[in-house]
Amino acid sequence: MTHRVAIVGAGPSGFYAADGLLRGQPGLRIDIIDRLPTPFGLVRAGVAPDHQGTKAVVRQFDRLLSQPDVRFIGNVEVGRDITWDDLRKAYDAVIVATGMVIDRPLGIPGEDLPHVWGSWKFIAWLNGHPDFRRGPDLGCVRSVAVIGNGNVALDVARVLAKSPEEMAKSDVVPEAGEAIAAAPLTDIYVIGRRGPEHASFTGNELAEMGRLARAVALADPGALAAEPPADGPTPERLRKAKNLEILRGFAANRAGAKPLSVHFLFSATPVAIRPGEIDLSTGTLPADLVVTCIGYRGEAFPQGEGIFSVGWARRGPTGTIPTNRADSHAVAQEVLGWLRDRDSKNGPYPLPSSIDVEGWRRIDQAEVAAGAAQGRPRVKVTDWQRLLRIARGE
Ligand SMILES: Cc1cc2nc3c(=O)[nH]c(=O)nc-3n(C[C@H](O)[C@H](O)[C@H](O)COP(=O)(O)OP(=O)(O)OC[C@H]3O[C@@H](n4cnc5c(N)ncnc54)[C@H](O)[C@@H]3O)c2cc1C
């Protein structure tokens, strides 16, 4: 009897795990289960809507869904619609690939105010995640504080700063794109707790901030005297040196050269947030919207015999999409080792009503068709019930 493996989470790490399993044991039966009716995890809901090149990785994942022994089971939340224990009884191995997307708190007064948004909630709104259909009210937002010095902070600042023309080929949900275009934005502050030599931006993403049509990137030359740390592996040192070089370029830009300014501030720790302002260790700034980009936490999942984990659920919220490949392939080898010499349980198969790959393809076609009419890659369906109706062909 062929073994059956459940992969919980249809994000990159889940797909790379399926790929690793099939490379080692073609013909294995694999179910990829997701709580959403749509696959691809943070590639669909996290990666910024204007970075379509990055999102193109889903084509590889989609090919796996066409394999006869791989099933997509969408609209099934493990822990709600089926227990982890029932899943474990039904499958010979379970791989947890559920990611990690609870916004980490800042731990300062005022962070519960309505104008303070975690980056996940904010980006999930831009990306049309059906749990996050309401975004911040941008009608009176002139200044934004983006807290954090990683690429997610750059994503938030860039999508806010780009002109509607620059977003025209993106798949930002129309209501978010329109709200950003109509906002009276003048200043975006990207705020780092440490010096620029410690920022975890990557060069391409940082350099893109210097090429925006309606926004000028600015940095204080006094803050950029630092050298990259002498220790650490060479690629890391080179990346930091490149960041400093790009930031020095920003320091030479003329304030007011464009209608919007993106200010890079360093060695500034957020201390308190009030309506319209944020207190930093270095002074107070205007901030009608605050977006925190300081990392994520995850939900606990069961451990035990026959349960494996991959991706962000296993390693924590670090690493890019390709990082998950080697990691998931290594875990797939462990799973194959576990299955070897074990008979298949051939247990009961209690999965509740779900959306299969054909259902997802109907959603995909509807979104792509709606996008084609506007010259966009797709217009996402954001309403849960509508997603389910389209998937069921109703
Ligand atoms: C805002 C943001 C932007 C990013 N931008 C980039 C980028 O530009 N380039 C890049 O390389 N990387 C980027 N990353 C990182 C990249 O997205 C991650 O490395 C990758 O998505 C992690 O994959 P994963 O499979 O572990 O988790 P996820 O992609 O989060 O997938 C987890 C899946 O599990 C599902 N799930 C969760 N709980 C359950 C449950 N109980 N039952 C069933 N299903 C469940 C979720 O719906 C989701 O589909 C970004 C991350 C974020 C947060």
Are 147 and 191 in contact by the 8 Å Cβ rule? The answer is yes
The residue whose C-alpha atom lies closest to atom 1 belonging to ligand 1 is 46
* pLDDT tens digits, 11-22: 999 999 999 999
Q: How confident is the model at residue 346 (pLDDT cuts 50, 70, 90)?
A: confident
**For the stretch 263-299, what's the b/e string if a residue is b when 16 or more beta carbons lie within 10 angstroms of its beta carbon?**
bbbbbbebeebeeebbbbeeeebebbbbbbbbbbebe
Q: Residue 169: exposed, middle, or buried by beta-carbon count in 10 A (0-12, 13-18, 19+)?
A: middle
Which pLDDT does position 15 carry in this prediction?
98
Ramachandran quadrant class, 274 (left: phi over 0; alpha: psi -120 to 50; beta: rest): beta
132 within ligand 1 shell (Cβ under 6 A)? no
Structural domains present in the chain: 4-101+298-354 (3.40.50.720), 102-296 (3.50.50.60)
**Above pLDDT 70, what percent of the chain?**
98
* pLDDT tens digits, 201-226: 999 999 999 999 999 999 998 889 87
328 within ligand 1 shell (Cβ under 6 A)? no
* pLDDT tens digits, 28-47: 999 999 999 999 999 999 99
The residue whose C-alpha atom lies closest to atom 41 belonging to ligand 1 is 78
User: What does the pLDDT average to over 264-279?
Assistant: 98
Which pLDDT does position 85 carry in this prediction?
93
Which pLDDT does position 353 carry in this prediction?
79
User: What does the pLDDT average to over 233-239?
Assistant: 85
Euclidean distance between CA atoms 266 and 106, whole angstroms: 17
Position 50, amino acid: D
* pLDDT tens digits, 124-151: 999 999 999 999 999 999 999 999 999 9
- Report which of residues 353 and 325 the model is more confident about: 325
Which pLDDT does position 350 carry in this prediction?
66
Q: 348 pLDDT exceeds 70?
A: no
pTM above 0.75, yes or no: yes
Ramachandran quadrant class, 349 (left: phi over 0; alpha: psi -120 to 50; beta: rest): beta
Are 221 and 229 in contact by the 8 Å Cβ rule? The answer is no
73 within ligand 1 shell (Cβ under 6 A)? no
Which pLDDT does position 266 carry in this prediction?
97
Which pLDDT does position 131 carry in this prediction?
98
User: What does the pLDDT average to over 35-61?
Assistant: 98
98 within ligand 1 shell (Cβ under 6 A)? yes
